[in-house]
Amino acid sequence: MRDDEALWARIAGSPEKALILDYDGTLAPFVQDRDQAVPYPGVREIISRIMQNPGARVVFVTGRACRDLLCLLDLPLRPEIWGSHGGERLLADGTLEKPSLSPEHGQGLDSASSLAKAVGMEKKRLEQKPGCLAAHFRGLDPARAESLKQELFAAWSGTAGESGLALHEFDGGLELRVPGFDKGRAVRRIVEEAGRDAVVFYLGDDVTDEDAFAALKGKGTSVLVRKEPRPTQAEWLLKPPEELLEFLCRWNAALA
């Protein structure tokens, strides 16, 4: 990939370019305190330079709420963000598009929060977002984390069945979501807006990014950003942070 001059020439020559980026595990390493998950050194600066080029559209797609990611990115230009696994959208002009929840989904998420606390989940390990509720186990003793995960999976499986919510696993936790809320939803919309001749890349690391990889098949290039390979639908593998930074620098150079 890094030596594919035809690829970089295609990026340079395309009138429409979209770089879609996951955050946690992709641009920023996992840390025990999620509020301290800042980008790898150099990532914020090179992304800022890419965003300053009018020929490139940079979009962040994350499981976090849009407002939470906005603070962590701390970019000089306001970015476009699809948050809560595509459930909400923050436009570059500051407009926030929020989902509307059915009474069943809202009640199911409330019930899931109570069940999580009942099995021993600390409040700080529960992340409430529009249309989603996530439980984070990273940093716990492995035996304790596995025990909590099994108890919560059993409890939330019942809630999912009753309320019509979807239960998902991710790297370090469990999450209940409104059906249809996934990163593929965001990618499909971005690709549609970009047009058929656009060059589109998506970078992600987690199993939650597989929906995005699938949505991009035949329409763009999917890249798994991960130190250790795993089964994936992505076409390429980048190891962070060195290869990630190299890729972003090449992308920026192609724009110039």
Residue 149 sits in a domain whose CATH number is 3.30.70
Report the pLDDT averaged over residues 129-154.
Answer: 95
pLDDT in tens, 196-219: 889 999 999 999 999 999 999 999
User: Are 107 and 84 in a shared domain?
Assistant: no
pTM of the complete model: 0.92
User: Are 87 and 126 in a shared domain?
Assistant: no
- Residue 99: its pLDDT value, please? 87
- Residue 246: its pLDDT value, please? 95
Report the pLDDT averaged over residues 179-199.
Answer: 93
Report the pLDDT averaged over residues 41-49.
Answer: 97
Paired tokens of 135: 């439980």
Sheet holding 126-129, edge to edge: 126-129, 132-136, 173-177, 166-170
Q: What does pLDDT average to over the chain? A: 94
Preceding peptide of 76 cis, ω within 30°: no
Domain end among 177, 203, 232: 177
User: Are 185 and 169 in a shared domain?
Assistant: no
- Number of domains the chain contains: 2
- Decide if 148 contacts 119 (C-beta within 8 A): yes
Asked whether residue 231 carries a pLDDT value surpassing 60, the answer given is: yes
Residue 256's pLDDT band (boundaries 50, 70, 90)? confident
User: Are 85 and 42 in a shared domain?
Assistant: yes
- Residue 61: its pLDDT value, please? 98
Identify which of 180, 133, 129 has the alpha carbon closest to the alpha carbon of residue 156. Answer: 133
- Residue 8: its pLDDT value, please? 87
Q: Domain of residue 114: give its range.
A: 103-177
Asked whether residue 14 carries a pLDDT value surpassing 70, the answer given is: yes
pLDDT in tens, 50-73: 999 988 999 999 999 999 999 999
User: Are 218 and 92 in a shared domain?
Assistant: yes
User: Are 189 and 251 in a shared domain?
Assistant: yes
Asked whether residue 2 carries a pLDDT value surpassing 80, the answer given is: no
- Residue 5: its pLDDT value, please? 83
- Decide if 110 contacts 98 (C-beta within 8 A): no
What is each CA distance from 37 to 28, 116, 156, in whole angstroms?
A: 6, 24, 27
Domain end among 157, 177, 197: 177
pLDDT in tens, 93-126: 999 999 889 999 999 999 999 999 999 999 999 9
Asked whether residue 11 carries a pLDDT value surpassing 70, the answer given is: yes
Write the CATH number for 208. 3.40.50.1000
- Residue 1: its pLDDT value, please? 58
User: Are 156 and 194 in a shared domain?
Assistant: no
Domain end among 122, 142, 177: 177
Asked whether residue 186 carries a pLDDT value surpassing 70, the answer given is: yes
Asked whether residue 3 carries a pLDDT value surpassing 70, the answer given is: no
